[in-house]
Amino acid sequence: MIFEMTLHPESRRLLDELEQLALPPIQTQTLEEARKRLVAPEEPLEVVGEIVDEEFDGRGGSVRVRRYHPRHGGAGPLNLLVFFHGGGWVIGSIETHENLCRQLSNACNAVVVSVDYRLAPESPFPAPVEDCVAGLEWAVACRDTWGVDGITGVAGDSAGGNLAAVVALNARDSAASRVDCQILLYPVTDRNLDTRSYLDMAEGYGLTRKAMAWFWQNYMGEQDASQPLASPLQAESVANLPPAFVVTAEYDTLRDEGEAYADRLQEAGVSVLRECVPGMLHGFLMHPGRFAEVGQVIGRIGKWTQQCEQAGTT
């Protein structure tokens, strides 16, 4: 793939604003300090039809979820999308990703279930995976109660994209819950920190190489990070996985591993729609008021979800 490598003006402004904040590198902060720095941008929230907070029993105890119903239900089948937030498996919550879930609910005509999985290092791998798998199974069991009659998908951004890919792999291998599509938004797919994008964007573009090393260390500790449920790019086979929409950002340390996973899926015969958004930084989808590209990408995800439903994947 050829990258244009022209930084979007708003991306430059965002980086300048972050520089003016003079925040210390996240890997030098305490967990409490690190978790306070990831907050939802102060932008108007998209209006949805209904929001419900509830819990289900996971392997490690109760797991919070936030359920979003689309604003204009009834226009075709109602889908189910189980969402996993980003934050390096260490930070982030259902609150930080509220607006993204609202947008996906409306665009995909879906009940979106955002899972507040356990975080590392207090609950390292595989605890977040266990909560996300359990979240999918719980949501699927509730489909009829919520009036869902369309497809079931998984979605996530960054580390949440990793969890979505892993949950799709697990669903294929366990046959516990069927997944009809996967939406992977600048996903983490491998522990390899030596890709071109990692080296080219190691510093100065938001998410740094050192920060990702810190996230991985907190998540995996001394465990083998090459196992497929941690690094889905290392899976022996990615055949027979559900169709995937893979979004990457041009100025993102994670760009190349997201592209590599899309390549592997395509080579295995999986239907893939992929988009590397020019000029964007990691996490750009959290800023719909700043980037017009956010609404455009979300709109394309919505149309693609409808195509998946029409293809008869239910």
Class of residue 113 by CB neighbours under 10 A (exposed 0-12, middle 13-18, buried 19+): buried
Q: Could you tell me which of 145, 151, 169 has the C-alpha nearest to residue 108?
A: 151
DSSP string, 37-88: H----S-PPPP-SEEEEEEEEETTEEEEEEEEE-SSTTSSPPEEEEEE--ST
Q: Collapsing DSSP states into helix, strand and coil, what is residue 166?
A: helix
Amino acid (one-letter) located at 274: R
Contact 184, 261 (CB under 8 A): yes
Q: Does the active-site annotation cover 226?
A: no
Contact 97, 40 (CB under 8 A): yes
The stretches of the chain forming alpha helices (DSSP H) are 9-21, 31-37, 98-107, 127-141, 143-146, 159-174, 196-200, 209-220, 255-267, 292-310
Q: Could you tell me which of 152, 48, 158 has the C-alpha nearest to residue 105?
A: 48
Contact 102, 175 (CB under 8 A): no
Marked catalytic residue, from 116, 252, 256, 287? 252
Q: Does the active-site annotation cover 180?
A: no
Contact 209, 238 (CB under 8 A): no
Contact 117, 128 (CB under 8 A): yes
CA dist 289 and 301 (Å) reads 18
- Supply φ then ψ for residue 191, to 5 degrees: -80, -10
Q: Does the active-site annotation cover 157?
A: no
Marked catalytic residue, from 158, 177, 197, 231? 158
Contact 11, 280 (CB under 8 A): yes
Catalytic residues: 158, 252, 282
